Amino acid sequence: MSRLPFELFLAFRYLRPKRTFVSVITLLSVIGVTLGVAVLIIVISVMSGFDREMKDKILGFNSHLKVMSSQGTLKTPRQVAEKVSAHPSVTGVSPFVMGQVFLEAHSGDGTSRVLAPVVRGVDPVSERRVSRIPDSMVAGQFDVRGNGVVLGVELARKLHLQVGDSISIYSIRNLKAMKDGAQRGMEEVVLPDDFEVRGIFDIGHFEYNELYVATSMGSAQDLYGLGADAHGLLVNVKEPEQVERVRQELEQTLGSAFEIVTWMDENGHLLDALVVEKNVMFYILFFIMIVAAFGITSVLITFVVQKTREIGVLKALGATRWQVLWLFLSQSVLVGTLGVVAGLGLGWLGVQYRNEFLVFMRQVTGFELFPARIYSFSKLPALFVPSDIAAICLGSLIICVLAGLLPAWNASRLHPVEALRHE
């Protein structure tokens, strides 16, 4: 004798594979639930990976806070840095100068290539505490002493530059001097500043690798004629997610003469867009589960029609309405559980081998499904978030149970006499 309640025993027996049309529909229902759960897990994990990688890349190049003067350049960066460093949550402070320049790269054949990147003046000592540029070198060294510069790998590729090559930089000050000379009727030629490429970095974000050149604070100050001034301070804190609290406390310490901008202020629209896209994809893809649930509903309706006489016998023998309800409802629970477990495994495999799949599709079709130029990542990111996985599995199982509720309720309401007369 089986130790299972007779409702579960009969549910298992009814779901036992047979060479019937109902068995085929049951198998298709399990496959539908499996694919729905797997697709949801893969998509949501990839979206979570995008969110994490985007934050990592942003915070790997940019600091958590920027402290700037509300009246122009920062006149006393060292004194202000000391006040900011005194905050218990601050882990690193470094001055910066940042602005767009006109860069010319020279080739051995006499030709030149020009672009307009952004120059970032950094302090070689304190830069390591606010960004990962010094630790992201793929060629050469992080050496910005004298006339040395380091630049992103995509910028180096566009300009065909290697370590040891020379470049010329026209700053805003150079261009303004030539413009002023032309207005005075003097054909004044202002020579650019020459620099040597000492290193090439790869921060992992396409935009940063393509647009930025780093040099010393002194060189950047000379390019912009700042003297000992700086454009501001880069500040890192212990908990980037609590940066708003640190900003409010620093504003009280520094006063209204300073403007403080957080990494959320600068990139909030992008991160918010990722969150919205993730939520929208979650709700849209859940319709896949609803479609799969219709398969479960059709299976149970067919079961109820086929087993009408057996339902009459059970109720004549004393089975209650709730026992009959649970008999058929447990079938949807079993189908849903099988589909959710299989979908969880398939989704995990899909996430683990996502990049191998992209390489395979590129080799087969010749089409790149995940171009780095567009998405700013060399590989497709993914992140398993336990709360998301639990919500997907639990929500899918609830939908499967609800799909079988109506047929099971109709079966429980059958009268024994009418069920036994059923042809």
Ordered mean pLDDT values, 10 residues apiece, the chain (423 residues): 55 57 69 87 86 79 87 86 89 89 75 85 88 89 90 90 87 68 62 86 84 90 85 89 87 86 79 77 78 75 67 65 72 83 92 84 74 65 87 87 78 62 54
The token pair at 244 is 């708003």
Q: Return the pLDDT at 239.
A: 86
Q: Return the pLDDT at 1.
A: 43
For the chain, the structural domain boundaries read 6-56+271-420, 72-256
Q: Return the pLDDT at 403.
A: 81
Q: Return the pLDDT at 213.
A: 92
Judge if pTM exceeds 0.95. no
Q: Return the pLDDT at 150.
A: 94
